[in-house]
Structure 1
Amino acid sequence: MDRILGKEFRPRKIIDNPSEESLREWALQHGGVITEFGNLSVTTSVRNRMAKLTEVILDRPDPEALDLVYDVLDYLRTKEVIMLDRVMCSTPGYKRHCRLYVTAEYARLPLMWGNTLFPSEGEEPDFIALTVPEWAEKKVFVFPAGGLTIILGSDYKGENKKAMLRQVMYWAKKQGDLGLHAASKVLRVFRGNELKDVGFLLFGLSGTGKTSLSCHSHWLGFPETVIIRQDDVVILRPDGTAVGTEDSFYIKTDGLEPSSQPLLYAAALSPRAILENVFVQPGTGKVDFFDSSLTSNGRAMVKRRDIAFTDDQVDLERVDVIVFITRRLDIMPPVARLNREWAAAAFMLGESVETSAGDPTEAGKSLRVVGTNPFIVGSRTEEGNMFLDILRKKTDIQCFFLNTGVVGGMVRGQKITVKDSVKILEMIAKDNIEWVKDDFWGYEVPLEVPGVDLERFDLKNFYDDDQIEELSEQLKNERVSWLSLFPGLSRDIVNALNP
């Protein structure tokens, strides 16, 4: 890359694709430590994405933004910069060549990012991210047309990871596909006497259970099993297949322990894992996943091969089930089955709560993000209509809401546990749930889920009839109001909320 936005890009020195060993050594020299498990742990100054400071520029940047970028390029003339090339996606026709530039003092960033994707194939980049963590002003500029992202003032690995994923989702949309903030897995289970592979896509904002559920074994016994594919972003094609993007997972470690999350816990202990903002006791290297004094957004970069129940594939050959994970705290049942139009409405609603991965100052507050995807570039309405079109072409895909929050309110409500959720997903795969239509909402709710005591979640345990009616009307009005913000959205999607 010779020029950026018309100005020459000429750092004092470019360190061209250093080895992983060199990057690891430099990361240790700049504050990294080795833990009791023999893996690397790093601590960053910025510990979550700069969502509110991210600007997507579809046309020419304004003079102020251009001046800032030019100041950065002038500064880099005095700096050594690491250049690292990798490939996103492993499927022919979908491989995107990615290049990261980072000032050399922050070798931990290319080390972690480089482990996220597939090895370079020596091609010129489709996407470029330029990261200057030490820059005083915090800002992220996204230039989708040129596949360029400029990250200023952040040394958080998630910013670099999402820079490339945002670009590939935009590229996919231009190709007629749909980039999704969704995990993928296969449940190989018996339906009757037949062993079937059931492909799942799991939507969800960061920190709401998407990775925890996608990386769970469901405690199945042979020959039943799971096959874990992706935990963050996939590309849904109109033929109902889903292309994977990455070769690692970027998991939250807050409260990570072996009884509820054995697969993720084991992967986080691998020598290949890299911990980020996890408390490590000085001197002993002892790791404490329950100590959130650094942040509640502690992370670990873990390789797919270190997670049990993965294989050598990242794509999903067939999508059978789509699950929208929400984390509501009131009247939402643990699970609901949706028709196609309601599923498209669920996509547009993107209901959840804010987490420490997004905006820690707002953690716990209700929010809506279309597609549970904060990284959509361009029209959100277009993506909702595209999603409905795919469901109408692939009529055998079943769709569900899955609430991983609380039923009945935070004070006296009933928590929906990971154990509840993994059992529900298993029973969905086995087609072993008895459903009944909810006339108010128009979707179906379970009468019985084997292995889950649904009486714990009966709304009448927490509210009287008037309260249930009031809360239901309030939620419906909020949802209808939200969908009204998207002119051009299919009326079938809007009308799904008023059966």
Structure 2
Amino acid sequence: MSIVDVTNKLAVLLHQSNVQENLSVPQLVEKVLARKEGMLTLTGAVATTTGKYTGRSPKDKYIVEEASTKDKIDWGSVNQPIAEEVFEKLYNKVIDYLMAKDEIFVFKGFAGADPKYRLPIQVINEFAWHNLFAHQLFIRPTEEELAEHQAQFTVISAPNFKADPAVDGTKSETFIIISFERRIVLIGGTEYAGEIKKSIFSVVNYLLPEQNILPMHCSANVGQEGDVALFFGLSGTGKTTLSADPKRRLIGDDEHGWSNSGVFNIEGGCYAKCINLSREKEPQIFDAIRFGAVLENVVIDEYTRIPNYDDGTLTENTRAAYPIQAIDNIVDPSVAGHPTTIIFLTADAFGVLPPISKLTREQAMYHFLSGYTSKLAGTERGITSPQATFSTCFGAPFLPLPATRYAEMLGKKIDEHNVQVFLVNTGWTGGEYGVGNRMKLQYTRAMVQSALEGELNNVETVKDPIFGLEIPAHVPGVPDEVLQPKNTWADQEAYEQKAKELAEQFRENFKKFANIDPNIEKLGGPIV
């Protein structure tokens, strides 16, 4: 099937009488309730469940191996190739399946808040609640923009269409397939809405570097003086908590692009984890879950319709989707200048990384490529003690291009804009997990605040003898002894052993990066 044939078949689908296009939030909520896809909660949010799949299915994600892109993709376990013929057969089946439905729902909008670089997209959904999710997560068009909208990428999501691996060439009933030539994402066999959001993030991670724009899996905010900060960090490192600062306005909480003009949010909404959510801990997120928001896999009281955010019966990965405008302290539109500060967050359960350290350009690129944090005992089956985990560029599952491409772009931008980069350990101090204690949030906040206000740019530092990191000798509001991890351990020999063990894991992980400037490893990594 040629690209023209694919386009023509899609056009036929979109011109059918069963298409509901760009419905308003109240209309979509009505559809969700009428179709019994979810229930209304006390606050007016829609609560839904996703059945068998309560998270992403990385083993079922593919990229079509096409002539124009196959030499650019970083093929492997993350970017699995699939043949064009397999995609085309599944595509035909899914389109025929949707044509037979009483209703399908279409959202037309954008990925990218900066009009110069935004990607016009359309999302075609079997479920009304998935279309509401897309409406809240992507950038919504004005009436004038909608009248002129020409989609450059299309997501087609049919959760109830399940593949037959023996016939369709997939590994399971689930598939998430990106075709860059046909500009289509095809999703089936999973009701987890996050696949829609993250597939578009994977798409822009491929497209934006061609425009000399660095796509980033990070949160971003801006201070009263216009100073922009980026926060990179994997789950559990405190990214959401630390970037939600009442003294600074939020640009976005998850996905951004860094162009020659500055930083812009790729999304129009937030997809927040809400396990153990409370107004006391995270008032902005708690209060954003109101009419039009989507709750995913949160247990709801059938009578009162009050969400129980502490109940992880369905999954620990409970989620809330809402427009960024539901947060009070934001930049709207979500566009700002060049960053002055970058914070890499890690939760080191070994208790050996400094609570804050200044990074050189080479160290920044090294730790960006490493993307280190810890998995704790009990988080996954078989994990009985803390384990180092590395997610390249803090977003490995969403990077179609070689990781070094993104790291080199980051290094260049750090140089161009004289950005200060810090590694902040929100993990353990005084010993590893089970022996020491989690770093006090008040200390972490004080360190981040000092970094953002430029107080650490020219301070006296002490070099860590194992990791080569420059540790500030003094940080306002933080006891000096806390800054040196070795000094917080009762057993300093045990500290040395554990630190060298982690340093070796860093080195072992870094071996996978080929054709990279040797100075990145030599000057950026552990020195012992």
Normalized against structure 2, the TM-score is what? 0.83
Which residue matches 2:215? 179
Distance in 1 separating the partners of 2:367 and 2:157? 35
Which residue matches 1:48? 55
C-alpha change, 1:144 and 1:262, in structure 2 (3 Å) is same
Deviates more, 1:316-325 or 1:35-44: 35-44
Q: In the alignment, residue 337 of structure 1 is paired with which amino acid?
A: K
Deviations 1:86-145 (A, max 9, x none): 122232321211100111xx1001101112222232321111111111123111112234
C-alpha change, 1:10 and 1:327, in structure 2 (3 Å) is farther
Q: CA deviation at 1:437?
A: 2.2
Which residue matches 1:148? 184
C-alpha change, 1:232 and 1:147, in structure 2 (3 Å) is farther
Q: Are 2:341 and 1:341 equivalent residues in the alignment?
A: no
Q: Are 2:262 and 1:251 equivalent residues in the alignment?
A: no
Which residue matches 1:415? 438
Which residue matches 1:314? 334
Q: Does structure 2 retain, via aligned residues, the 8 Å contact 1:168–1:179?
A: yes
Q: In the alignment, residue 132 of structure 1 is paired with which amino acid?
A: A
Q: Are 2:253 and 1:235 equivalent residues in the alignment?
A: no
Q: Does structure 1 retain, via aligned residues, the 8 Å contact 2:489–2:495?
A: no
Which residue matches 2:38? 32
Q: Does structure 2 retain, via aligned residues, the 8 Å contact 1:2–1:10?
A: no
Which residue matches 2:345? 325
The alignment partner of 1:294 has SS state of coil
Which residue matches 2:233? 204
Q: CA deviation at 1:8?
A: 6.5
Among candidates 510, 515, 518, match of residue 483 of structure 1? 510
Q: In the alignment, residue 16 of structure 1 is paired with which amino acid?
A: E
Q: In the alignment, residue 357 of structure 2 is paired with which amino acid?
A: A
Normalized against structure 1, the TM-score is what? 0.88
Q: In the alignment, residue 409 of structure 1 is paired with which amino acid?
A: E
C-alpha change, 1:160 and 1:255, in structure 2 (3 Å) is same
Among candidates 271, 283, 288, match of residue 291 of structure 2? 271
Distance in 2 separating the partners of 1:463 and 1:7? 69
Among candidates 352, 365, 380, match of residue 403 of structure 2? 380
Distance in 1 separating the partners of 2:382 and 2:195? 19
Deviations 1:196-237 (A, max 9, x none): 4431011122453222222232xxxxxxx2111111111112
Which residue matches 1:20? 25
Distance in 2 separating the partners of 1:176 and 1:390? 10
Distance in 1 separating the partners of 2:10 and 2:320? 36
C-alpha change, 1:285 and 1:323, in structure 2 (3 Å) is same
Q: In the alignment, residue 204 of structure 1 is paired with which amino acid?
A: G
C-alpha change, 1:90 and 1:384, in structure 2 (3 Å) is closer
Among candidates 444, 462, 481, match of residue 436 of structure 1? 462
Q: Are 2:295 and 1:295 equivalent residues in the alignment?
A: no
Q: In the alignment, residue 264 of structure 1 is paired with which amino acid?
A: I
Q: CA deviation at 1:152?
A: 1.1
Distance in 1 separating the partners of 2:43 and 2:57? 31
Among candidates 87, 96, 113, match of residue 90 of structure 1? 113
The alignment partner of 1:69 has SS state of helix
C-alpha change, 1:78 and 1:126, in structure 2 (3 Å) is same
Deviations 1:64-99 (A, max 9, x none): 444333333343342242221112223232121110
Q: In the alignment, residue 237 of structure 1 is paired with which amino acid?
A: S
Among candidates 103, 111, 125, match of residue 151 of structure 2? 125
Which residue matches 1:135? 161
Distance in 2 separating the partners of 1:289 and 1:455? 37
Distance in 2 separating the partners of 1:333 and 1:107? 48
Distance in 1 separating the partners of 2:402 and 2:154? 23
C-alpha change, 1:206 and 1:276, in structure 2 (3 Å) is same
Distance in 1 separating the partners of 2:490 and 2:4? 64
Distance in 2 separating the partners of 1:451 and 1:258? 26
Q: CA deviation at 1:366?
A: 3.1
Q: In the alignment, residue 370 of structure 2 is paired with which amino acid?
A: L
Q: In the alignment, residue 512 of structure 2 is paired with which amino acid?
A: L
Distance in 1 separating the partners of 2:200 and 2:380? 23
Deviates more, 1:307-316 or 1:488-497: 307-316
C-alpha change, 1:207 and 1:58, in structure 2 (3 Å) is farther
Alignment of 1:448-467 (within 5 A): 448-453=474-479, 455=481, 458-462=485-489, 464-467=491-494
Among candidates 68, 71, 76, match of residue 90 of structure 2? 68
Q: Does structure 1 retain, via aligned residues, the 8 Å contact 2:28–2:129?
A: yes
C-alpha change, 1:347 and 1:144, in structure 2 (3 Å) is farther
Q: CA deviation at 1:365?
A: 4.8
Q: In the alignment, residue 298 of structure 1 is paired with which amino acid?
A: T
Name stretches of at least 5 consecutive residues in structure 2 with no aligned partner.
68-81, 163-172
Q: Are 2:80 and 1:59 equivalent residues in the alignment?
A: no
Identity of aligned residues (%): 24
The alignment partner of 1:101 has SS state of strand
Deviates more, 1:247-256 or 1:78-87: 78-87
C-alpha change, 1:6 and 1:92, in structure 2 (3 Å) is closer
RMSD: 2.7
Among candidates 279, 286, 290, match of residue 306 of structure 2? 286
Q: In the alignment, residue 274 of structure 2 is paired with which amino acid?
A: T
